Structure 1
Amino acid sequence: MPPQGLVSSYQQYKKDTDSIAAWLASTAKSCGYPSDLLTGGPANKPASTRLKGKARAEAKKKQATTTLPTTNKYIIKIKEFVPLAEFVASKREVSVSGSFIATLRRVIVARGGFGEKLAQHGAVPDELSDAKHGYFVGILEKVYEVLKPRVKIGLIDSSPAPSSDESDADDFANRFASLQVYEPSDDFLNAPDLERPKPLEGDKITYEAEQATSLEDLLVVVTMLINDINKIRARIQWIWSNYKDGLFDLAVAAIATNTAIDLARNLMEEVEPMFKDHGGLWKVLNRWYLVQMMMKGYEPFDLFKNDSTDNFNYDTYDIADGTYILTCRLISAFIPVIQPGNVPLYKDGMFGYYDPQSDRASKTGYQKFEEDRVLLMTIFTELMAVVRGIENYPVEDEFLRGIRELANTKQVSFYIVFAAQVFLDIHYTLREHAGKCFETLEKNLKSFDREIEEYFSFHINLKIDNWPARNDAMLREYQRKIRWILQDPGHQVKIKAYRQTGQTPPVSMEANRLLKMSPVLSGLMLYHFRSEIWDVGIALANAWGSITYSLHLYNALRSEKLLSRTWKDMDLVRTLLGDSSFFVGDAPGNLDQYMKKFCLQMGTTVAAFTKNRRGKVVLESRAGPRGIKDGAPVSLMFMDRYLRGTGQVDWKPEDIARIIDLGMWETEGSEEDGTLILGQIDDPEKLKQKAKTRRGKGSENAKLSPEQLIRALTFALQGETLELSVSYISMHRECWSLLRAVRKHCDPLLRELYTAAYMERETELCFVVGWIFLEPVKDRSTTLLLEARDAVDQFVRKEGTTVLGLLNDLDMPVEFVTEKNDSEAEL
């Protein structure tokens, strides 16, 4: 069971209802109520299987000692609630817990008044639903009255059972909340978990309440569901509004958005099977749209009061927008044009043109619908080009995934409607700024391409066993894939589709339209290649030891106060990755520790640096070399899905809560007064709590709703953006160039002290740092360290900001401040 709080309104409601059924059935059974009278019967009877041949003979031999597995689940019919309650009430030894009564009241209040309000507005459309009107609430109220005398004294007030009349119109209207994000109070966040009644101890049966199937019951559930997903929808709009203002990275916004749709889909999948008995998704949404219209004061015949040819009243566009009915209608229109093997080609201008610079707020309902139609018709062709013509497209968002399912099944699911609506919302939030998303992606991809090319130029004659040729081949494949995406494989698919039909591709058919139109796909594509380059960069640095051993030398020079300037690139990397990635234990701070810590990190012994290494001298320590530890723990959790294409896609709230727990960043200040900032967690107590949480001992995010989880995930990802964006390939080249400069400057003295054999080939360049640290200490200083100081100081002055320059080119400038207590430059 997910932690309390990681559930939707409907899930809370269902858990409450099931717990009432479980307590009634379990308590009645313990008092002698026969199990066979639980008319719901076993919910999962074992299937009958007829064995043959040898298997049948073996089964007969075991018949005396083998029994069929017994069922462990019962469905309790709603009509049994009152008989069960009356049986329990007849037993004097039974007392009713306060948690049972509190849960019962919650369900009554949740349902109370719903049917009556529907009836008042003429929204109960058939005799069957009218006959069942208020039936379930009446059952619950009767159970309350029957069991109230058995309640433990002091556990419940003396007020009468809450009835449908207690739920006023304002409360009902609040169920249809507009798109707003409401932050929970501290009292709510710190409140104890909801307590529900449980089956009696020792009862191993799982009981569930029968699912009510009337239209009224369905509309209650749909109301809860749409309120929940509208909060998620509002959070997604918040993400992209902040992206537009420059507060969130594109990849962060895309991952958080797609995860939010995952969570919405998880909520929908539990409810959507109920739609089948009422005509499917379209009819259910249409009924709910009509209810919304009537709740807003429209009459049923107002639906047709317009001049449109499709008999839809576009004056009610804003109501339709909140009910997803128009988006569902547009997605359904795709089905007739989906043909096996074909790419549906949308002709630009067929339904007008989308003008992102126009003022949407001043448009009529029909004009807004026209924007919806143009955007969805255009993107549909682009998505279908991927579905029909590209087998290995690097990333897939929920919209593309939904179109792929639609093409295969010809069935419209609620989640694809939601994904399509989110696509529209993002465009209407960004308007003319939507084009920036592809520009950002394009700039990054071209930068990655240059990084790889510069790597091969740098290493043309520089090879090492720890970095085999297959790794270089993999890098070339990455580069080929980058260029393939920039050339737009979907564009070629559409050109082919036009030629197959004897048409000439229109001049207006621009390249990369899919990524230009889809900020989410652009952001996921950015994450895909960024994380790929990050992964390669860390592996490269570990194979060569370039960054680690350069930092050991830099740290020694800084600790001895020998440098006149800071190496900003290294300060950035050290701050982001932490000293634990480079040192065993604390960073060394004196001449006695530099060599020891260097050897521990390198995985070798001091004996490796002796002049005469004859005999059987063990040069490698048992621990072996230590590389840079994986960082960006939250971002890395999405690599399997968006980089390798193998990860989880059915994210649930408890999964996201555990991912957020891995984060090492926290927010300070508030959004409301503009003081919100992100900072790395450095408080020892908070770090201990983080470690405890990662070991599975409680989650600080266990009480967040889905939309609140998305907010927390967005900040957690944003905190790691800089770490994931640093060019570790470039940093490797920079550090290797530094070691070259140090070796060249110190070479005469190194030869004098250790002979020319101190380094036989350039791949041993990292050992230069060890030879410098090995020099005997004289008067608390070493000549080699002083010589190295001159080389490092000169190099840092000329080439020490290559990485920062690349980040600045990608519109990610970094600033440093100086801590007064130690005069160290901090990020």
Structure 2
Amino acid sequence: MFPFPWRSTYLQYKEDTDAVASWLARTARRCGYSGDLLSKGEDAENEEGDPDTKPAHSHKSKSKGKKKTKARSQQPKPVQPPEPQTTPSAPRKPSYLISIPAFIILAEFIAKSKNPVVQAPTSLVHVLDRAISLRKQFSKSLTDKATPKNGWADKSHSYFVHVLEEVKKILGNSTHVSSGAYSASDLANSFAGLMVEEPSQEFLNAPAPTPDVAVEPEFKSDQFEDPNEVFLAFKLLMEDFSTIRNAVAQIWEDHMAGKHRSVAAALATNMAIDFARKMEEDMADLVERFGGFDQVYRVWWSAICQDRGYSENHREKEGDALNFRAYEEANTAMLPAHLMLTKFISLVPSDPKSSPDIGMPGPIDYASDWKSKTPREKYLHDEALLNQVLASLVSAIRVPGHRNKGLPGEDELIRGLRVAIETRQVSLWNVLSVQILLDIHHCQRQDIQLPWKELNAVGSHLSRTIDIVSKELQGLRHPNWTESNDEAVKELRKDIEDWVINDKVQKSILRFKRRAPGKHFHFKNNPVFCGLFIYSLQMRYHIISIDYANTWKAVLNARHLYNAFRQEDLIKSKWADMEVFQLVQPDSVSFAGDAPKKKEDYIKRYAIMNGMSAASFSKDARGPPKRSAAGCR
């Protein structure tokens, strides 16, 4: 299990409220609840002049009039399902938005039900507790100060908490709470409890049935669309990003302690940033309706300064990028990384044949104590480092031949840099990837080049191995070893030569007539890129090695010889690599059964593994040996 959130906390919260709405609506119907409140169509609502009725997918802002408030307090509002499709094979589920006041109505009806007597699952109470706690924390947090003064929005936010608490009270006092085995996730999962069985062939061959017109409806909670809801979502997103950031920092601290190899740390880091990107995309529609992430971020930072008593616009010295008195809060909010990345992107020329002009690169101090630096020193150090690293990565992106297809082992930082340069917009997950790079530098300091040393060692080893094997096979051909296999070997060898042994990026920088910051600077200062590059080389080498072993039978031949020598006591010492291989691959894979122990069986098993029919070795066999229809094992 990775030590960071797999998905957005805000989406989990929305699923919680939808789960409560769905449980209330479905249970109320099962208890005989009148269909009026759950089946009244959109057209009927609109005929009565209700301005608030909307489909489940609509994102209209809600009006503030008295008529709207009255409509909210009455009943759940169903949504008219869309026009049926011409093909009867794909009926759509009717989708109903359950208004927040209707939660209490449904809960009271369920509590009074005698036939059946409802047992509310404990997991439902847990989900209510989680939603209530989250809302209350937000009410007390500084982000409330970021929202514009809006009486209706404030009322809706606190009213939602009141409704959830009232539902919990009603269900807790008036129903039998079950301690069933369902978890909170089960409530949001409509497939929970299904048994999976293998279908019969008769079932698989049966014609598709005509779908039933009556489709089980889907119930969701009607959500408030106001500034409070946006800042709640944004606050939870930033908390998720902070959790990811701290978890990744711990991964690289463990890497320094020898607990992780560079590949494992890099893969986990890259996956974490990918999760962050998806979290931001999940709530993009909601945030965009209130000005976008940049606007919300600026207001959120202003609220932080207001809460801490700092002046957002104060500068101790002319030219300061921010108020360094608030540096710790700014660092937590990733503001320095945001400012640095935004400024850098503005300096990148649009011409793909150009390189960003960031001035003359200077030496980077890796040995000094990071914690003893002043806020201004930290900012200037990070800015100088980041400008050089990002400039080298832009040069790597713009290396001829890699501008469109990507780099070997390309990570989320480089991928995000591509997008930011093309769109001239900086996303929060871009900022997080840059912030994580800086955090790794702060953690590892002079040890930042350890992943590069590992990459250099791996590249040199693979290069030597390829050269040795290629020399041994020179002039030999096999029908199963095609030109595409040769091409894969050549491309791998060339990438190692161009990127690891030489420095393709440095040549690109010099081609732009810029001063290069040093050979392999882009690798030495980007440990995630190094780890993914190692992984890319090793996986490509692994695939080539399997093709080679299957074509030339190198491993199979060696194992049969090794087994024969060991059985005949011709060798005393053990072959460590082959012993490991025998642990990974059972005897049945290499010998078509148990490992042979008699002389007459050695050649027999070897022949069978190489495509000879086992019938050729039977007592009744006549004529020359025959090949097996299945071919080589």
| TM-score using structure 2 length | 0.77
> Which AA in structure 2 matches 1:619?
K
Aligned-pair CA distance for 1:80? 4.9
Unaligned runs of 5+ in 2: 43-51, 59-83, 193-213
What are the Cα deviations for residues 419-470 of structure 1, in whole angstroms up to 9, with x where unaligned? Answer: 1111111222221112232232223223222222222221223332232354
1:240 aligns with 2:243: no
Query: More deviation in 486-495 or 543-552?
Result: 486-495
1:142 aligns with 2:134: no
Aligned-pair CA distance for 1:273? 3.2
Contact 1:357 1:432 in 2 (8 A): yes
Change (3 A) 1:490 1:210: farther
What are the Cα deviations for residues 617-658 of structure 1, in whole angstroms up to 9, with x where unaligned? Answer: 4532233223xxxxxxxxxxxxxxxxxxxxxxxxxxxxxxxx
1:363-382 alignment to 2 at 5 Å?
363-382=373-392
Secondary structure, in 3 states, of the residue corresponding to 1:135? helix
What are the Cα deviations for residues 453-511 of structure 1, in whole angstroms up to 9, with x where unaligned? Answer: 2222212233322323543343223322322224333333323333xxxxxx33x5433
Distance in 2 (CA, whole Å) between partners of 1:450 and 1:276 is 53
How many residues are paired up?
558
What are the Cα deviations for residues 365-424 of structure 1, in whole angstroms up to 9, with x where unaligned? Answer: 121111221222112212222333433432321011111111121121121111111111
Aligned-pair CA distance for 1:84? 5.3
Distance in 1 (CA, whole Å) between partners of 2:271 and 2:375 is 30
Partner residue in 2 for 1:467 = 481
1:229 aligns with 2:244: no
Distance in 2 (CA, whole Å) between partners of 1:141 and 1:329 is 40
> Which AA in structure 2 matches 1:517?
N
Partner residue in 1 for 2:356 = 345
Query: More deviation in 514-523 or 192-201?
Result: 192-201
1:655-666 alignment to 2 at 5 Å?
none
Partner residue in 2 for 1:176 = none
Partner residue in 2 for 1:103 = 127
Change (3 A) 1:199 1:476: closer
> Which of residues 423, 435, 439 is equivalent to 1:409?
423
Aligned-pair CA distance for 1:614? 9.9
Distance in 2 (CA, whole Å) between partners of 1:318 and 1:476 is 50
> Which AA in structure 2 matches 1:573?
F
What are the Cα deviations for residues 99-118 of structure 1, in whole angstroms up to 9, with x where unaligned? Answer: 34443233112212532444
Distance in 2 (CA, whole Å) between partners of 1:349 and 1:380 is 14
Partner residue in 1 for 2:443 = 429
> Which AA in structure 2 matches 1:229?
F
Aligned-pair CA distance for 1:203? 6.4
Secondary structure, in 3 states, of the residue corresponding to 2:439? helix
Secondary structure, in 3 states, of the residue corresponding to 1:123? helix
Change (3 A) 1:466 1:150: closer
1:627-666 alignment to 2 at 5 Å?
none
Contact 2:96 2:220 in 1 (8 A): yes
> Which AA in structure 1 matches 2:35?
G
Partner residue in 2 for 1:126 = 148
Partner residue in 1 for 2:341 = 331
Contact 1:382 1:513 in 2 (8 A): yes
Distance in 1 (CA, whole Å) between partners of 2:262 and 2:471 is 31
Change (3 A) 1:31 1:346: same
Secondary structure, in 3 states, of the residue corresponding to 1:74? strand
Partner residue in 2 for 1:36 = 40
Change (3 A) 1:492 1:211: farther
What are the Cα deviations for residues 550-602 of structure 1, in whole angstroms up to 9, with x where unaligned? Answer: 21221233244442212233224334555454233443445565444333322
Contact 2:25 2:106 in 1 (8 A): yes
> Which AA in structure 2 matches 1:105?
D
What are the Cα deviations for residues 280-303 of structure 1, in whole angstroms up to 9, with x where unaligned? Answer: 3233334444555566xx214376
Aligned-pair CA distance for 1:148? 4.5
1:440 aligns with 2:462: no
Partner residue in 1 for 2:65 = none
Aligned-pair CA distance for 1:543? 0.9
> Which AA in structure 1 matches 2:271?
T
Distance in 1 (CA, whole Å) between partners of 2:178 and 2:93 is 36
> Which of residues 499, 519, 527 is equivalent to 2:527?
519
1:620 aligns with 2:627: yes
Secondary structure, in 3 states, of the residue corresponding to 1:356? coil
Change (3 A) 1:336 1:133: same
> Which of residues 93, 96, 103 is equivalent to 1:74?
96
Change (3 A) 1:25 1:200: farther
Secondary structure, in 3 states, of the residue corresponding to 1:155? strand
What are the Cα deviations for residues 492-543 of structure 1, in whole angstroms up to 9, with x where unaligned? Answer: 3323333xxxxxx33x543332222211112211111222122112211111
Contact 2:255 2:261 in 1 (8 A): yes
1:413-812 alignment to 2 at 5 Å?
413-486=427-500, 487-498=502-513, 505-506=514-515, 508-577=516-585, 579=587, 581-591=589-599, 593-605=601-613, 617-626=624-633
Contact 2:157 2:228 in 1 (8 A): no
Secondary structure, in 3 states, of the residue corresponding to 1:204? coil
Aligned-pair CA distance for 1:236? 1.7
Partner residue in 1 for 2:287 = 275
Contact 1:116 1:134 in 2 (8 A): no
Secondary structure, in 3 states, of the residue corresponding to 2:259? coil
What are the Cα deviations for residues 207-228 of structure 1, in whole angstroms up to 9, with x where unaligned? Answer: 3323433333333333333333
1:220 aligns with 2:241: no
> Which of residues 299, 311, 324 is equivalent to 1:314?
324
Contact 1:449 1:479 in 2 (8 A): yes
Distance in 1 (CA, whole Å) between partners of 2:435 and 2:87 is 59
User: What is the RMSD of the two structures over their aligned residues, measured on CA atoms?
Assistant: 3.8
Secondary structure, in 3 states, of the residue corresponding to 1:17? helix
Distance in 1 (CA, whole Å) between partners of 2:599 and 2:112 is 85
Contact 1:604 1:621 in 2 (8 A): yes
Change (3 A) 1:26 1:604: same
Query: More deviation in 138-147 or 559-568?
Result: 138-147
Unaligned runs of 5+ in 1: 46-61, 158-189, 499-504, 627-827
Contact 2:97 2:222 in 1 (8 A): yes
What are the Cα deviations for residues 57-101 of structure 1, in whole angstroms up to 9, with x where unaligned? Answer: xxxxx9999799555333444455456556767877576542344
Distance in 1 (CA, whole Å) between partners of 2:105 and 2:191 is 19
Distance in 2 (CA, whole Å) between partners of 1:301 and 1:470 is 64
Change (3 A) 1:144 1:247: closer
Query: More deviation in 366-375 or 190-199?
Result: 190-199
Distance in 1 (CA, whole Å) between partners of 2:430 and 2:599 is 63
Distance in 1 (CA, whole Å) between partners of 2:335 and 2:86 is 60
Change (3 A) 1:597 1:72: farther
